[in-house]
Structures are given as structure tokens and as C-alpha cells.
A and B are shown apart, each in its own frame.
Chain A
Amino acid sequence: MSSGQSNTFEPLTLIEPFIEKKGGLMPALHALQEHLGYISKESIAELATAFNYSQAEIIDVITFYDDFRTKPIGKNIIRICLAEACQSQNCKKLLKDISSQLNLTLDETNHDSGITLKEVFCLGNCAIGPSVMINETVIGEATTEKIINHLEEDDA
């Protein structure tokens, strides 16, 4: 996932391929977020014009979905699964441990370390829980140590 800021950012060029598609708003939102890391104010204005929606309607859609955000977050996103199979494998304790280790609560971003901690409900890795997804990599039988090691490897 790229979340770097770009100076030459043109929302319209990203949105363009989806304008004529039926129901193209969702893929357009994904494309914008993938590029910038979030949906910016100017993107919302461009989306409204492009899709013939009011800005309120665009915000209406964005705020419904957990994935979309209107503010930048960390470079590394840790999603900890809190669904039933992981509950049986003590994910609540893992969440507590990782929270204190990284000094982060759910939905919080540490802008120094560039890490955001989020909850997720099921990663489809339920037979070897607890599961955690770091960016796009799923880690089974997750421990605080495994998570930290993975973050360090990514940095290296």
C-alpha cells in the first residue's frame, strides 16, 4: 500500500477510468486511497463533480466503510483479528500486549513510528489464530514478538 504524499497529485486522472463504469465510485475511492493513503478534501470535490453526486453524498459513502479514511494514517497498518476463532486463541490478550508494546490503542496512529493499530473481523486464517495482518501479509499464531520482528524486517 502506498501512502506517500505526492506533490503532483491530480485526483481526476485517478478517477477518470471509473467515471463511465456502472457503480464506479467504490473503485475510484480505492484508487484514490491507494495513491494518497486517504481520501483528501479536494478528492471529495472532484469525485462529486465526476460522479454527479453532492459532496455530502460522497462523504456519506466514505464514512460507511471502515477502510476509507479522510486523514492520513501510518505507513504500516497492523490489523488484529478480534473475531470468534481468534477470541478462542486469546486475541484480547494479544491486543493488550501489542498495545502496550507499541504504546497505541485501537485506531490510533503513532506518527513517529508510522504505525497504525486497527481491529479487523476475520482474515480467513482461523485455523491457526490469533491472526494479524501487517499491511498485506497475514501472520498466523501471532505473538507480539512475531509482529515486532516482521515490522523490523520490513524496515530493513
Chain B
Amino acid sequence: MLHKTISNLIKEESVKIIRNGSWGAYWLEPFIEIEKDGVRTGASYRNIDLTHLKTIEDFFLDFEKKNPFDINEIDFIKNQNRIVFSRIGQQDPLDINYYRATKGYESLITALEIGHQETIDRIKSSGLTGRGGAAFPTGIKMQTVFDQDVSTKYLACNADEGDGGTFSDRLIMESDPFSLIEGMTIAAYAVGASKGYIYLRSEYPLAKDFLSDAIDIALKNNYLGENIQNTDFNFEIELRIGAGSYVCGEETAMMESIEGRRGLVRSKPPLPAINGLFGKPTLINNVVTLATIPALLSDQHSEFSEIGSNKSVGTMPFQLSGNIKNGGLIETRFDITLKEMIENYGSGTKSDKPLHAIQIGGPLGIYLSSNMLNTSLTIESLEELKGSVGHGGIIVFDDSVDMSEQAKFAMEFCVKESCGKCTPCRIGSVRGVEIIERLQKNKASKEDAILLEDLCETLESTSLCAMGGMTPNPIHSIINYFPNELIEK
């Protein structure tokens, strides 16, 4: 809307309008920046109507009245360590010249020069673990695919970012799509794949448009297609659109969907890296993991790998959302506390009411209470609490939240999204909703408390995938960290 209004005001050639991507500082958006004589400042245009303006000069005058500032200087952006998300917000996401001018495609050239094994070794030595949820070491997965002595291999990019409260993949795809395409091209070269799929959820139509255009531009510039950059490496990317199924974000269900079937999970083994899409070795990574790869083959490798320890190496794009003043994308080291995240970055609850609960790691993650704010956000620290960082979503709730409703939702979501293959997930979730509804009427029911515990145990130990296996996580956390809110002890 604002873009159209301002475009209509521009009559002279000295003013150029650029549709840049999001900075990930959502509470400021729409955020308009003006660059004049090399100085760039911006102002928030939230809920502002500009249709009364008659000329572009009117707009400039109005802009000055808003006390414009340099967004790089606000704490929210300045305190982050943006390596993977360094380009978002800066320029037109489809401007390949800007991408190249900021070291884009240098890493692909490096990979093509150093060869398959050396590329994989550099990714291994970076310490990168998968950012989709399982945190498996990326380099080791690549090695497994590379080691398969099979001529046809595939790469599948999981862009089915389904966890509530996550949007880092969407930001990459809409604000810096070439970083994903370059990351995929490097990964495909490293493991020996010549065809890649992006499985994108249908809820992201804008990402679909940006990716389609970016793939075309990359093709025209010989970064995709045949004989990429005058080598004998060929690689093509096909965009596949999902159809509203959460479980298709589970890698084996995703493969079923790409193959044109119901998204039913497969049992593992065989691992997709050995026997994956269409029965061939397949490298599966999510969007952020793949978009991180270019940085690991550049001079940023040591900067990335020197941050953090164990599985929590490098930067993690956390996504702060829910009842929060300053929500958005925060790329930072893992070992920051929840308190720093919510108070320093988020500036507290949006409602100004007391904080009550924080959900970390999506629908299969856990809820922490307001007295657990010293928790560090590393993979290890959350594992100790029987949770996970997952895809990095952090959702804030104030004290109006009813935790028994959140527990019920965990089961309801499983009812809706279970693929139906495993009985405990398909039917157990329905029983789970019923038990929790009974507990909502009588928190002191020992019988239902024991039944819920048994049901959770059955789900955990007898489901094929994380959908059924981890649905009990939020429920356990509510029982343990929110005494008397679901079950009276």
C-alpha cells in the first residue's frame, strides 16, 4: 500500500524507489528508509496513512518530522551477530549485483576450486549443526551422501517451516534468496547431486514468488543449469509447493509428498542420506542450514566456528514472537539467557502485563515459567530441561494465558496434524485431548493424571517420528514447571 502511494508521487528521475526486504525488526514495519548523499536513515510507518500527500517533497518533509535514524545503530540490530542474515533489509532481494558485491557466489567459486571433500571438510570443521530442529552435524550428513557410490543423488531443501512462532526460513527466502540458492548449489556440488528440490509450504506465497524469480536469475547468470561457471558441474532446482500439512516438514513425510503421495512418515533406517528421494541418496537440510553454508567457505568461517561450543556452535537465528514489544529475528550466539532475549531484545511483554510462560522450540518444544529466565538458550541446556532449541522459535505469553489450554492445544495439534501411520499418535492424541478436558474440570483427579502420564510415555516410545514422539514435551513441561495449573499435586 505505502509502496504504491509513494511510487505514485515520484515524478522525477532523481528519486528511485527500492523494495528492500525485511530487517527482521517487525515492530518497526513498515519501515521506510531514505538514502541521500550516501547517508541512509529510516522511520517507522506503522499504521500510518500517506494518501493525503500530494508530491514527493511532501513525503520528504513528513519523513524528516519522524526523526529518522540509522537502523544499524539501534540496540536490537547492533547487538546481534548477523552472519547468515547479514544482507536482509539492505537491498532489493533479487538484485544479483548487490549479492555479488557483498561476496555472494565467491564461496561457490571456492568450492568448485577446492573440490568435493575439501568443501565437506570445511563444513565439518565449522561445527555447523542442522537448524531445522534435530541439530545433527551438517558436515557428517554431507559425508554420508558423498560416500554413496551411486550416480544419481538428490538434494532436498526443507522449506516447510511449520512450527508456530518461526519465520527465519521465510526471511531468508524473501529477503536474501540467493544465499539459499548458493548454499544449495555448494551442498549439491559437495555431495554430487545434480538435482535439488525446495519443498516450500503453501502458506508462504511471497516466498514462492521470490524463489521462482531468484532461480530464474541464477539460471541466466550460469549459477544454476549446465556447466556452472564453466565447470562440468550441472545442477537444477525445482520448487515444489506443499499443501497445508505440518507433518510434511518431517523429512521422510516430505519425501513422500515430493514423490506425489500422502505425507506418511517412513521408518528409519534406511537413512535418507543412503536411500532417500526416489530411492536415491538424498541430502536433506532446512533453509537456514543451507543458507549458512556460503559463510563457512568464506573468511567468516573462523568467526562462525569460534562462537559457542559442543553442538551449539556458531550463530542461531532466534525468532522472538507472541506477546512481546519488540519481536523479530535475532541472530546471536546460543549461550544467551532467556532474560537477555526477552528484556534486552524484546523489551518485555506487549501488553505490559507480567510474563508468565515462554514456549521454546515450536509445538514439540517446551514451556518455561517466568522464574526460569536464567536458562541459557544452548542446545545442551534445553536438552537438560527435556526440551529443544528446535527451529529457534521463542513465544512469549503474559499472565492471561491458561496453561491447561496450552497443554490441550499440544494434543489438539497432534490430532489435526498426525499423518495417521502410528496408532499412539493418531488415536492417543484424541484420548489426550479428552483426558486434559477432564483435568480442566478436576485438576485433582489422580486417575487422569496417571492416565495422562501413561499416554505420554506410550506416545514417546512407540511413535515413528517426532510428531508423536515429542508431542508430550510441552505437556510434561506444563506439569513440571507450572505446578497446579494443569494437575494439582
Contacts and interface: CB of A to CB of B under 8 A. Distances in A.
Interface of A: 22-27, 29-30, 51, 60-61, 64-68, 79, 83-89, 120-129, 133, 136, 138, 140
Nearest to A63: B262
Contacts of B468: none
Contacts of A67: 202, 242-244
Contacts of B395: 84-85, 88, 126
Contacts of A89: 322-323, 350
B233 interface: no
A27 B161 CA distance: 19
26 contacts: A22-B278, A23-B258, A23-B278, A26-B240, A27-B240, A27-B241, A60-B262, A64-B245, A65-B263, A67-B243, A84-B164, A86-B164, A87-B397, A88-B323, A88-B398, A89-B350, A120-B244, A121-B246, A122-B162, A124-B166, A124-B204, A127-B27, A127-B167, A128-B26, A128-B27, A128-B29
Given A30-B241, A68-B243, 16 more contacts: A23-B260, A26-B260, A65-B243, A66-B243, A67-B243, A84-B165, A85-B165, A87-B397, A88-B395, A88-B396, A89-B323, A120-B244, A127-B319, A127-B327, A128-B327, A138-B206
B164 A126 contact: yes
Contact of A120 (B203, B322, B324, B401): B203
A84 B409 contact: yes
B335 interface: no
B260 A122 contact: no
A133 B319 CA distance: 20
Contact of A26 (B241, B324, B398): B241
Contacts of B323: 88-89
Nearest to A133: B203
Nearest to A84: B164
A84 B203 contact: no
Contacts, number: 131
B404 interface: no
B220 interface: no
Given A88-B401, A120-B203, A127-B319, A83 B259 contact: no
A149 to B, nearest CB: 11
B315 interface: no
Q: Quick one: which of A23, A68, A126 has the most chain B CB within 10 A?
A: A126
Contacts of A65: 242-245, 263
A51 B203 CA distance: 27
B205 interface: yes
B119 interface: no
B348 interface: no
For the complex of A and B, the 3 pairs showing the least CB-CB separation, nearest first, are A127-B327, A83-B164, A25-B260
Nearest to B239: A27
Contacts of B396: 88
A6 to B, nearest CB: 22
Interface in B246-294: 246, 257-263, 278
Question: Considering residues A87, A124, A126, which has the most beta carbons from chain B within 10 angstroms of its beta carbon?
Answer: A124
Given A84-B165, A127-B27, A127-B320, A122 B261 contact: no
Interface in B286-336: 319-324, 327-328
B424 interface: no
B177 to A, nearest CB: 15
A64 B263 contact: yes
Interface in B336-351: 350
Nearest to A146: B47
Contacts of B245: 64-66
B63 interface: no
Contacts of A27: 240-241
Nearest to A81: B164
A133 B205 CA distance: 10
B141 interface: no
Contacts of B33: none
Contacts of B182: none
A128 to B, nearest CB: 5
Given A24-B260, A67-B202, A88-B401, A125 B359 contact: no
A125 B167 contact: yes
A43 B14 CA distance: 53
A123 B319 contact: no
A124 B241 contact: no
